[in-house]
Amino acid sequence: MNRLAAVDLGASSGRVIVGSVGSGAVHLTEVARFANTPVQVQGTLHWDILGLYQGILDGLDAAGPVQSVGVDSWAVDYGLLDGDGRLLGNPVHYRDARTDTVVSPVPAAAHYAATGIANQPFNTVFQLLAAGGTAQLDSARTLLLIPDLITYWLSGTIGAERTNASTTGLLTAGGGSWDLPLVARLGIRASLLPPLRDPGTVAGPMLHAPETLVTTVASHDTASAVVGVPARTDRFAYISCGTWSLVGVELPSPVLTTDSFEAGFTNETGVDGTVRYLRNVMGLWLLQECMRAWGPAVTLADLLSGAAAAPARRSVVDATDPRFLAPGDMPARIAAALKETDQPVPADPYAMTRCILDSLALAYRRAIDDARRLTGRPVDVVHLVGGGAQNALLCQLTADACELPVEAGPVEAGALGNILVQARALGLIPADLPSMRALLRSSRRYEPRAAQAVG
């Protein structure tokens, strides 16, 4: 039975996808999709983790018999378990404001030198500092990141998968171990941190279906998405584009220079000891929040059609600006940023959409140019994977801005990477990354246009 289930949790929805490997390709079938809707309770934004888990169980039931199941999700957020292994409250959302005023006792440059992780207010380390002194944290015995929590509920085993653990800001650079001296300086109890495990480790049989293995995959969805990049050489940059855009290159070791720190790059652990050297860009969150403000009468197809006809690069914002992180009136925040820089404010949703897409493409270019400069890694092609690969205008604008060809797709790169790691753990496919990626294909290639053709 060559059937594997990927549980792929995103910021707005979750999916259960069944994959099989054969005939030199990976075949996916989505069997379930369910909403992931955060909940505000007494001023704090939470994930509805039990609703998500029920969606996962229903999806696995719909999938039918599978050999293995693996879980990936967004990074940094966590659940806390008590001494009996029971969850102490719903996990807090990384977009919650509780970390806005947190100051770390460890200087940012020293923290970067130790961990290689960029100083981002939503990182696990800042969430833990914000939670310091609360009854919940004082009562907790174990911290589990979201995919580790789901894996625990499915298998009954506790561990911290390495690619996701690297995003906490508590792991040594390169992901070798928990940085216990740093943890002590931060005033965080080391006993909260579970044993590390690598992608491809079998966590155990599924509790309610012992014939199915629960396999630890690259549980940070970006780590799975980078496995799912159909690269043919190492001379590539990637953009994992969804609610967030993660833009970078794959390296054999971290870059911990002062220039790298000041440029806002992070060194997250990838599969097989690789490093995902990347910069966070706000991504399609900017457009999603604008659409929420505009209401259901405005469709994405209409917006993209109108944006394609709008003047190019008339107004742009910094798509890494933290002012855009929180939920709320995104059109007003973009307008305020444009006024501060004496740029025209878009007069309608079409022009605003063009502003967002131009801003993203230029942010991608800056990130790729900086990654090349800081690492010396040549880039011949940009692989844009994830949901953004369906946005033809964004893909073309990215090719134009980067002056490089863009290979768009696969859309379900995260699920593909999840399935590939499971398949390798079960001995169904070759073991090395290039051979795994040889099973994958891009969906479309965009060539950069001359400057006059851009607008």
- Residues with active-site annotation: 221
Amino acid at 212: T
Residue by residue, DSSP assigns 169-181 as: T-BPTTSSSB-HH
Ranges assigned E (strand) in 376-431:
381-385, 406-408
Provide the 10 A C-beta neighbour count for residue 299. Answer: 10
Taking alpha carbons only, the member of 409, 430, 425 closest to residue 6 is 425
288, two tokens: 């999603």
- 260: phi then psi, degrees, rounded to nearest 5: -65, -45
Helix then strand then coil, in percent of the chain rounded to 5, is: 40, 25, 40
- 418: phi then psi, degrees, rounded to nearest 5: -60, -50
Q: What angle do CA 352, 38, 333 make, to 5 degrees?
A: 25
Residue 193 contacts residue 143 (beta carbons within 8 Å): yes
Q: What angle do CA 370, 260, 180 make, to 5 degrees?
A: 145
Residue 91 contacts residue 146 (beta carbons within 8 Å): yes
Cα(405)–Cα(250) distance, integer angstroms? 18
105, two tokens: 């006792």
